[in-house]
């Protein structure tokens, strides 16, 4: 059970995070140099009221997901994150489960790459965080607990991916997705949520089940994607995925060749922002 020390720690670390380091405007006079409660709520995807009750010691038993989201939004180090879990009365996530902690260094990468779409996924291809250009390109991400935050679920069961591919490229892409998930499942055998995801995919997607049972093996290549965006039209972007050593996170980055119409359209998107755009996966 969370104690008053949990709330004090959240408040202390909230005061430490300058708005500009979190990609937020400073916005006029402030009583404290750090984040306002509503800003922390925005970054963590938690209601302002709940954060208020946590800080005041009036809310007990925050979930693992809430503590993880707070640790991420507050830019906590590995040691600080562990301390926050202990203050919440929670065990740290099992090392044999898929890591979801975004380290401060990865968070800085996300904060600094302000002009191009960037997203961070875990090893099961569940979306952890995006920056504003990514949301402008792909649409606002699904709710934190939605199955559609997982890229494989969105592709095989959900609304799909609007990127245009040849049939050969599509088959290669599907094979790579299933192969990567198989590798992740072998690496994190104690992750019950991952096992449930696989079971649900096999139940609800005949194509996934076919590839899984066939032992599909493949790998993801850096590719270009052509997408039809409702605001700027067709644009072709390079998609690169970087794996973070030690945390198994995936950083997905979209870029366009400088001086091209695609680059101009991508720049326009960062100005337009998000307005009910189509959600894309990876």
Domain residue ranges of the chain, discontinuous segments joined by +: 4-87, 104-272
pLDDT at 3: 65
Consecutive H or E run containing 252: strand 250-255
Comparing 4-87 with 104-272, is the CATH topology the same?
no
- HSE-CB at 25 with a 13 A cutoff on CA atoms is 3
The answer on pLDDT for 29 being more than 80 is no
- Closest by CA position to 197, among listed 125, 276, 128: 125
pTM of the model: 0.79
Mapped onto helix, strand or coil, the DSSP state of residue 254 is strand
- Closest by CA position to 201, among listed 253, 275, 126: 126
CATH of domain 4-87: 1.10.260.40
Q: Which fold has domain 104-272?
A: Beta-Lactamase (3.30.450)
pLDDT at 221: 73
pLDDT at 124: 96
164-204: per-residue pLDDT in tens? 888 888 898 899 999 999 999 999 999 999 999 999 999 99
| Spatial separation of the C-alpha atoms in residues 121 and 149, rounded to whole Å | 9
51-91: per-residue pLDDT in tens? 999 999 888 889 988 999 999 899 998 899 999 999 999 98
- Closest by CA position to 69, among listed 37, 111, 102, 39: 102
């Amino acid at each position: 059970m969370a104690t008053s020390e949990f709330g004090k720690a959240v408040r202390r670390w909230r005061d430490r995070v300058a708005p500009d380091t979190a990609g937020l405007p400073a916005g006029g006079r402030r009583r404290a140099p750090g984040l306002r409660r509503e800003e922390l709520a925005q970054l963590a995807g938690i209601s302002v009221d709940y954060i208020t009750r946590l800080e005041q010691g009036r809310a007990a038993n925050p979930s693992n997901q809430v503590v993880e989201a707070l640790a991420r939004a507050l830019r906590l180090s590995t040691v600080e994150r562990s301390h926050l879990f202990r203050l919440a009365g929670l065990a740290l996530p099992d090392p044999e489960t898929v890591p979801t902690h975004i380290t401060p260094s990865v968070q800085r990468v996300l904060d600094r790459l302000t002009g191009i779409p960037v997203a961070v996924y875990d090893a099961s291809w569940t979306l952890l965080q995006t920056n504003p250009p990514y949301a402008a390109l792909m649409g606002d991400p699904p709710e934190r607990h939605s199955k559609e935050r997982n890229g494989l679920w969105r592709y095989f069961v959900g609304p799909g991916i609007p990127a245009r591919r040849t049939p050969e490229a599509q088959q290669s892409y599907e094979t790579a997705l299933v192969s990567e998930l198989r590798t992740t499942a072998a690496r994190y055998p104690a992750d019950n949520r991952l096992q449930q995801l696989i079971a649900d995919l096999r139940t609800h997607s005949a194509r996934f089940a076919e590839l899984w049972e066939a032992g599909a093996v493949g790998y993801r290549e850096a590719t270009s994607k052509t997408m039809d965006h409702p605001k700027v039209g067709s644009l072709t972007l390079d998609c690169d995925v970087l794996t973070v050593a030690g945390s198994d996170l995936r950083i997905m980055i979209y870029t366009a060749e400088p001086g091209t119409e695609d680059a101009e359209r991508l720049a326009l998107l960062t100005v337009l922002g998000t307005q009910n755009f189509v959600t894309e996966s990876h």
